[in-house]
Amino acid sequence: MLFNSIFKVSDLEIFQRKHKWLIWTKLKQKSVEDLMNYKLNVFCDVTLATELDEIINLYIVYKVDYSLQDLKELPIGNWTEQAGLRVQVRGTKIERRSNLGGVQVKSQTVFSSLKFKTIDENRLQLLMNNSYEKYKDNLPRYTIVLFLNLAKLYNFTLNISIADEWGSKKQNGEYSGLIGALQRNITDIGLSGFHRERSIPFLDFSALLWKNRPIFLYRSLRPFASAYSLVLPFSRSTWLCIFVMLGFIAFTLLIARRFNRSRREDCSISGSCLVTLAIFCQQGFESCSSRLSERIILLTALIFGLIICTFYNSIIVTLALKQKLVTVRNADDLLNSDMKIGIYDEKILREYFETSNNSLVSKLYQKKIKGQPSSFLTDEKGLALIRTSNYFAFYGSENLLYKTVYEKFSMNEVCQLSEVELVEPYQVPSPMRKNFFLKEFINCGPVRLKEIGVVARELSIWYPGKVRCQASPDSPSVTINCLVIAYAIYCSGLIISIVIMLVELVVFNRRKQQHASA
């Protein structure tokens, strides 16, 4: 009667829930044979108690899978009236029951680049070799390798198949693809990273396996690649203050010379401007007045020019030693810059930018993405625009962008790349069906693999992190483009002087003619 009730309870799979069961029996062997037919699994807490010669012996009983007939029976202690309860249990439940021999775990994965429809032993060996189609579908391939290591750790069999797609919701409420297979219990776990969606109630998630770090990648200016290289050391407001100060010095010098009334000194506006510019550029001045007021003006102007020029020259030298000039350091700088942006064309990223509650993401979408049909691009097209433009940033996951950079960018181009984080990096788990009885093993297994170095080794193989610049730190060559402003100033002055000279000649000839006629 008792075991009939237990059999009904096992049909409800209540043994798989977090209850502790104690079964008292006088016929131990008969009870063990009966329990073989019940739906027990590896995480059941079922203790069998039987009395023999006034000693009550305690046994833990479980099956690695309720579909198997092999019932595990482990003695854990006993109870006597004199000594009381004596129980010896070593290690955690996962450590004691880590041998899952005979368990078949069904899994599916999804490939976006590789055109595999099925996986046999030969194709599995190709997928595990990183030199084959390097960095293509690296996340599902890394997950496959990690779960194969888990299969070795726990001695279970991992059956791998390929789904056509991740899956989308149908009108009848069911899902297609991998998600649909998890919904219908066709598969136990998905071997690929998955963004958590709490709106899908039949999914559980494994331990965090993969770091997703979305970034904006753009090409920084080289220090002397711009036509404005000579004005880079100072901001616009600083240059404005300098010119205002130079104008004030020229004005005070003009007033001082006008009061001096010396015939030896040029008291014109142009003469005062030339002297001020010569002092500022540390070229000195033609003569020194005997008046104390003018000497003070000249001395303070000389010190002012010395300080400004020293700072300017030191910043120029510093820029010459840099391999790139970073002008956008965070998402706020990107929002306020003239830089155009592109987004990796992926459904998740489209929905994220369109529906995000993050104020910065929302402003970025409204200002630079919305209404721009060319904003969502493939990774190859987006990175091609980075190579050809200094005012374009492309958004995607770090491992996606850098695997293309690794394949197609030269080291000189790599050294010019800079990145900006829009959101904090986050971990990506793998999906599994709800109430999967090996969930605790799947979650604890990567921790063990991490302790023995397997996770770090596989991540170094499969995760294409940031490509490091390995160029020599030699100073860049100064091209004609860097000195455009200097040539422009001289040429504009030359043109103005020629025009004024022609005007003066015309005026002089007219006055000469008028004087001759008079």
pLDDT digits (tens, 9 = 90+) for 11-36: 555 666 667 888 888 878 888 877 77
* Sign of the dihedral defined by the CA atoms of residues 449, 453, 455, 461, in that order: negative
- Considering the domain architecture, whether residues 74 and 168 belong to the same structural domain is answered as no
Least confident of 3-12, 80-89, 272-281: 3-12
* Residue found by looking up tokens 């020259």 in the block: 313
Q: Report if residue 249 sits inside a domain.
A: yes
Residue 462 lies in a domain: no
If asked whether residues 47 and 114 sit together in one domain, one would say: no
For 441-492, what is each residue's pLDDT tens digit? 888 888 888 888 888 888 888 887 777 777 654 445 555 666 666 667 767 7
Q: Are both 84 and 111 inside the same structural domain?
A: no
Domain boundary among 407, 424, 441: 424
Q: How far is CA 433 from the centre of its chain?
A: 29
The answer on 308 and 283 residing in a single domain is yes
Query: Which two structure tokens, joined as six digits, stand for 366?
Result: 């409204």
- Is residue 175 domain-shared with residue 109, that is, in the same domain? yes
Across the range 411-432, mean pLDDT stands at 83
Return d(Cα 212, Cα 424) in angstroms, integer: 9
Tell me the average pLDDT of the chain. 79
Same domain, 417 and 393: yes
Q: Please give the structure tokens belonging to residue 469.
A: 């610049």
Residue 307 lies inside a defined structural domain of this protein: yes
Measured at the alpha carbon of residue 103, what is the angle toward residues 98 and 105, in degrees to the nearest 5? 105
Q: Do 59 and 16 reside in the same domain of the chain?
A: yes
Please say which residue of 34, 64, 97 terminates a domain: 97
77 touches 58 (CB < 8 A):
yes
Residue 374 lies in a domain: yes
147: pLDDT confidence band, cut at 50, 70 and 90? Answer: very high
Do 174 and 77 have their domain in common? no
What's the CATH code of the domain at 399? 3.40.190.10
- Give the β-pairing of 157-162 and 104-109: parallel
In a domain, 432, yes or no: no
* Residue 401 shares a structural domain with residue 418: yes
Sequential DSSP letters for 436-454: -TTHHHHHHHHHHHHHTTH
Length of the chain: 518
CA atoms within 13 A on the CB side of 31: 21
- Name the amino acid, one letter, at 102: G
Does residue 307 surpass a pLDDT of 60? yes
Domain assignment present for residue 448? The answer is no
Maximal CA-CA distance, the chain: 152
Is residue 458 included in any domain, yes or no?
no
Position 510, amino acid: R
pLDDT of residue 473: 46
Q: What mean pLDDT is predicted for residues 399-419? A: 82
Residue 429 lies in a domain: no
Number of structural domains the chain divides into: 5
Chain segment 93-133, per-residue pLDDT in tens: 888 888 888 888 999 998 887 888 888 888 889 888 888 88
Residue-wise pLDDT tens digits, 342-389: 888 877 788 788 888 888 888 888 888 887 777 888 888 888 888 888
What pLDDT shows up at residue 475? 46
Residue 335 has pLDDT above 60, yes or no: yes
Q: Looking at the structure, do residues 112 and 202 belong to the same domain, yes or no?
A: yes
Do 110 and 209 sit in the same domain of this protein?
A: yes
* Residue 340, helix vs strand vs coil: strand
Domain boundary among 49, 65, 97: 97
Q: Does residue 6 register a pLDDT over 80?
A: no
Domain assignment of residue 488, given as a range: 479-506
Q: Tens of pLDDT along 499-516? A: 887 887 888 888 878 777
pLDDT at 158: 92
Are 134 and 177 in the same domain? yes
Q: Cite the beta strand spans of 26-100 per DSSP E.
A: 45-52, 55-62, 72-80, 84-87
Proportion of the chain above pLDDT 70, given as a percent? 83
